């Protein structure tokens, strides 16, 4: 049987790679298609004439996936459509939609036999062990979508879940435990693939041009026997793979980590993403992050810096509050106090399906924003606010990185001057600057240049100036920048 695997966005569709390898284990024929860059994607899928068409879209890509599906079904009515991944797992009600035949909730393992046997409807898998994630069908994807092998960064992970339970997050342990129970959360989502399997996967990545691995474990230190695993892993990675890695963590885990492990990890990690998310205690509580606070974040930041890491601080604005702009400004100032001069990423709150923040917002009388695409780079959040508030929140997302960094370089300068925002480029970043920043307007081209200036900062932070500039140049030529 032939299975078309449809990829969305610029990046490697990592979950779908594992679906591909599982299908191959069952002797199935697979082919990847590029919905982002291939203008003839529909014709190409039609011509290949698959028996099954498989999608793994995040929420932001679901409308595009569904529209592609409708067109394919018009051409090939008997094709069976299968949806899986985070969005499908959280939104099984999509099975009610016309043309959606199968929705898989949870890992692919154990579902292919059912699908091939003709089972339709919602199939909930039973996650077994992380070793079920063997070697993803990455090379098959590279063969079908050559631009993917050229991506400067590749995605890898050792552990699929997170121990925390943040209310806005699809990785939340609340969500996973509700669906699969706490034993599976511990044994599958918070356990790691073996070092050997991860290294075997990395050997394949190593054959292709790669500048960095985005290590997408939600918290690099979390899970069972984290330090032991990381120690063995770094040893093997340095010996054989040796790509720089970008990792993520929390303040709690950073402060809990031993000196040895911070030293060891530094051998291969340049930059750490540290989730701040909010500064006000009430906002942290709304996010179910009451375990965090500014003092602890500052200590974690300082600790990471002392071990030589660059730190990317991440925060969320646009909360369901009476004063979302003031809350966002408090967060912005907090970021500056925690990591003055650092690179920060400020995102608008997204309301992903079946996350608890959805319910919290509704109970507080907030509606969802129909204009939100689910992509954080747009600066457009998931909740509907008055126009003026919406604009200020978006501006905080757009200019917050510049404010905390505190210096206008060429990329920022060009964007600001292009948008007629010379004041922001030339004046001191004081209260007047902030007022101007909150209220300024700019066109789409400027918005794109601002997003690129931020992206440029992040790449330099992660790879250093010389390498970062080279890589960024390549990114601008090969990536559809979201803004």
Binding site for ligand B12 (CB under 6 A): 9-16, 18-19, 54, 56, 58-60, 82-87, 90, 104, 107-109, 111, 133, 155, 157, 160, 169-171, 214, 216, 218, 352-353, 375-377
Among ligand SF4, ligand B12, none, partner that 221 touches (CB below 5 to 8 angstroms by kind) = none
CB of 156 to ligand B12, least distance (A): 9
Q: For residue 214, which of 248, 255, 191 has the smallest C-alpha distance?
A: 248
Tell me the CA end-to-end span of the chain in Å, nearest whole number.
39
Residue 275 contact partner, candidates ligand SF4, ligand B12, none, CB within 5 to 8 A by sort of partner: ligand SF4
Q: Report the residue number, 422 or 481, with the smaller CB distance to ligand B12.
A: 481
Q: Extract the tokens encoding 176.
A: 């996973």
**Short-list 331, 309, 304, CA closest to 319:** 331
Minimum distance between the CB of residue 123 and ligand B12, rounded to whole angstroms?
8
Q: Strands of 93-165 (E only): list them.
A: 102-105, 121-124, 153-156
- Name which of 82 and 166 has its Cβ closer to ligand SF4: 166
C-beta closer to ligand SF4: residue 251 or 446: 251
Phi/psi at 52 (5° precision): -130, 145
Which residue's CB is nearer to ligand B12, number 162 or number 449? 162
The DSSP bridge partners found for residue 103 are 83, 122
Residue 229: which of ligand B12, ligand SF4, none does it interact with, CB under 5 to 8 A by kind? none
| Kind plus residue range of the DSSP H or E element containing 147 | helix 146-150
Q: How far is the CB of 290 from ligand SF4 (least distance, A)?
A: 12
Question: Minimum CB separation from ligand B12 for residue 59, in Å?
Answer: 4
Smallest gap, in angstroms, from Cβ of residue 181 to ligand B12?
17
Residue 216 interacting partner from ligand B12, ligand SF4, none (CB closer than 5 to 8 Å by kind): ligand B12
Rule CB under 6 A: which residues touch ligand SF4?
162, 164, 166, 169, 171-172, 218-219, 250, 275
Q: Quick one: 171 or 249, whose CB is closer to ligand B12? A: 171
List the one residue out of 266, 273, 346 whose CA is nearest residue 312.
273
- Residue 447 touches which member of ligand SF4, ligand B12, none, C-beta under 5-8 Å by kind: none
Burial class (CB in 10 A: 0-12, 13-18, 19+), 39: exposed
Sign of the alpha-carbon torsion through 129, 132, 133, 134? positive
Q: Is 474 exposed, middle or buried (0-12, 13-18, 19+ CB in 10 A)?
A: middle
Beta bridge partners of 124: 105
Nearest C-alpha neighbor of 399 from the set 369, 371, 439, 372: 439
CB of 136 to ligand B12, least distance (A): 8
Q: Which of 190, 159, 149 is nearest to 173 (CA)?
A: 190
The site partner of 446 among ligand SF4, ligand B12, none (C-beta below 5 to 8 Å per kind) is: none
CB of 171 to ligand SF4, least distance (A): 4
């Amino acid at each position: 049987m032939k299975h078309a695997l449809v990829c969305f966005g610029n990046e490697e569709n990592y979950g779908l790679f594992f679906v591909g390898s599982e299908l191959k284990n069952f002797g199935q024929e697979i082919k990847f298609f590029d919905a982002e860059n291939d203008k003839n994607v529909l014709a190409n899928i039609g011509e290949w004439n698959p028996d099954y068409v498989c999608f793994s879209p995040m929420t932001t890509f679901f409308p595009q996936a569904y529209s592609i599906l409708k067109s394919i079904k018009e051409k090939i009515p008997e094709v069976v459509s299968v949806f899986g991944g985070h969005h499908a797992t959280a939104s099984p009600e999509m099975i009610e939609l016309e043309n959606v035949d199968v929705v898989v909730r949870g890992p692919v393992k154990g579902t292919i036999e059912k699908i091939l046997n003709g089972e339709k409807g919602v199939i909930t898998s039973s996650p077994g062990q992380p070793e079920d994630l063997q070697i993803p069908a990455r090379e098959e994807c590279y063969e079908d979508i050559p631009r993917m092998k050229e991506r400067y960064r590749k995605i890898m992970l050792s552990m699929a879940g997170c121990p925390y339970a943040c209310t806005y997050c699809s990785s939340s342990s609340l969500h996973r435990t509700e669906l699969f129970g706490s034993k599976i959360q511990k044994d599958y989502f918070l356990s790691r693939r073996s070092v050997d399997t991860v290294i075997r996967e990395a050997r394949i990545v190593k054959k292709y041009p790669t500048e960095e691995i985005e290590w997408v474990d939600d918290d690099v230190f979390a899970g069972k026997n984290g330090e032991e695993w990381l120690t063995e892993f770094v040893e093997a990675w340095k010996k054989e793979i040796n790509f720089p890695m970008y990792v993520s963590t929390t303040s709690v885990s950073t402060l809990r980590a031993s000196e040895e492990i911070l030293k060891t990890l530094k051998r291969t990690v340049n930059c750490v993403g540290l989730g701040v998310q909010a500064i006000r205690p009430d906002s942290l509580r709304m996010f179910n992050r009451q375990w965090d606070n500014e003092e602890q974040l500052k200590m974690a930041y300082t600790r990471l810096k002392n071990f030589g890491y660059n730190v990317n601080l991440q925060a969320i604005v646009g909360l369901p509050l009476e004063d979302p702009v003031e809350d966002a400004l408090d967060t912005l100032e907090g970021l500056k106090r925690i990591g003055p001069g650092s690179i920060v990423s400020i995102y608008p709150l997204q309301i992903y399906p079946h996350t608890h923040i959805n319910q919290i917002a509704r109970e507080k009388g907030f509606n969802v924003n129909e204009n939100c695409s689910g992509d954080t780079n747009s600066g457009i959040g998931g909740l509907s606010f008055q126009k003026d508030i919406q604009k200020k929140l978006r501006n905080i997302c757009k200019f917050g990185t510049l404010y905390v960094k505190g210096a206008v370089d060429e990329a920022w300068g060009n964007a600001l001057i292009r948008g007629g925002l010379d004041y922001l480029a030339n004046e001191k970043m004081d209260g007047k600057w902030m007022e101007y920043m909150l209220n300024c307007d700019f066109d789409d081209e400027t918005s794109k240049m601002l997003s690129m200036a931020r992206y440029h900062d992040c790449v330099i932070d992660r790879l250093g100036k010389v390498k970062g500039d080279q890589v960024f140049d390549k990114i601008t030529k090969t990536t559809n920048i979201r803004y």
